[in-house]
Amino acid sequence: MITFELNGEAVQADVSGDTPLLWVIRDHFKLKGSKFGCGMGLCGACSMMVDGVSTRTCVLPVVAVANRKITTIEGVGNPQMLSTLQQAWVDASVPQCGYCQSGQLISATALLKSNPNPSSEEIDQAMSGNICRCGTYPRIKKAIQSAASKAVLTGQSTQDGGVNIFEPGAQAKEGMA
């Protein structure tokens, strides 16, 4: 039995410890937002935040995340309450086929959390583990820059608050008010 925190809730999984976290999340917890892409940690479709760091979970044995905090795309926001980054994604029509975008958003969220105002090169670096076959890179970069500048403009710290990682939708709701 392995215990960890999944999107803010303590959970337990009775699975073989060598099972990659991705398949535990998808097959056991039935959260399907994180995707299988390569099985070798090369494409980033499976990215989740492990203690805030974007991590390839298709090669991460679940035993390695015991007692750690896992955030999947479902923990970033939802259609009714988008995070600032998700809203930027929608506004810039980033997704095409959409399959890689959960992983892209996880890496982008982790980036802004640690670096509220990244340079173009820093974005390239932080997103280098995430492949998009549809070629949405220019729009991903634009959306990250737009979300970062919004956070800076509103004087918010992107440490949790600015990109609303754990309180999805707060900013979207403010925007509507």
Partner 1 sequence: MSQQTDPLISSRRSFLKNTAMLGGGLLIGLPLSACATAGFPKAGDKDFQPDAFLQITPDNQVHFYMPRSEMGQGTYTGLTTLIAEELDVEPSAIHVHHVGPLSDYENPEIGFQATGGSTSMRVSFKPLRQAAANARAAILDAAAQQLNLPKAQLTTQNSQVLAKGKAFNYGEFVEVAAQLGVPDETPLKRSNEFKYMGKDMPRLDGVAKSTGTAQFGIDVDFPGLHRAVLVRSPVAGGSVKTVDDSAALAMAGVKKVVTIYNGVAVVATSYWQAKQAALALNIEWNEPEKLASFSSDTGKKWFADALNSGDFEEAFELGDGKDGLEKASKVYSAEYWAPYLAHSTMEPMNCVVKIEEGHCDIWVGCQTPDVARGLAARICDLSIDEVTLHSTFLGGGFGRRFNSDFVAEATEIAKASGLAIQLVWSREDDTRHDFYRPASLARFNVGVDKNGMIESWTAQRAGPNIMPYTLDEVVDGKAPGFMPNGLVDWLSKRGYGLFNGLTVDHSSVEGLYEDYDAVNKDVQHVTVDPGLPVGFWRSVGHSFSGFFKEGMMDEVAHGQKQDSVAYRLAHTKNNPKLNGVIKLAAEKSLWGKPLSKGHFHGVACHNSFESSVAQVAEVSVVNNEIKIHKITCAVDCGFVVNPDIVKAQMESGIIFALSAALHGEITLKDGKVQQSNFHDYPVLRMAQSPEIDVHIVASDKDPSGVGEPGVPPVAAAVANAVFAATGKRLRSLPLSLS
List interacting residues with partner 1 (CB under 8 A).
16, 19-20, 23, 26-28, 30-40, 42-43, 45, 72-74, 76-79, 82, 86, 89-91, 93-102, 105, 123-125, 127-128, 130-141
59 or 152, CB closer to partner 1?
59
82 or 151, CB closer to partner 1?
82
110 or 123, CB closer to partner 1?
123
22 or 155, CB closer to partner 1?
22
What is the C-alpha separation between 150 and 47, in angstroms, rounded? 25
Closest separation between CB of residue 51 and partner 1, Å?
20
Closest separation between CB of residue 155 and partner 1, Å?
25
Closest separation between CB of residue 67 and partner 1, Å?
22
Q: Contacts by 33-37 with C-beta closer than 8 Å and gap 24+?
A: 33/72, 33/73, 33/74, 33/102, 34/72, 34/73, 34/102, 34/103, 35/99, 35/100, 35/102, 35/103, 37/99, 37/100, 37/103, 37/131
49 or 123, CB closer to partner 1?
123
For CA atoms 58, 164, 97, 80, give the dihedral sign: positive
Closest separation between CB of residue 48 and partner 1, Å?
11
Closest separation between CB of residue 30 and partner 1, Å?
6
How would you list the strands of the sheet with 48-50, edge to edge? 9-13, 2-6, 69-71, 48-50, 53-55
What is the C-alpha separation between 151 and 171, in angstroms, rounded? 10
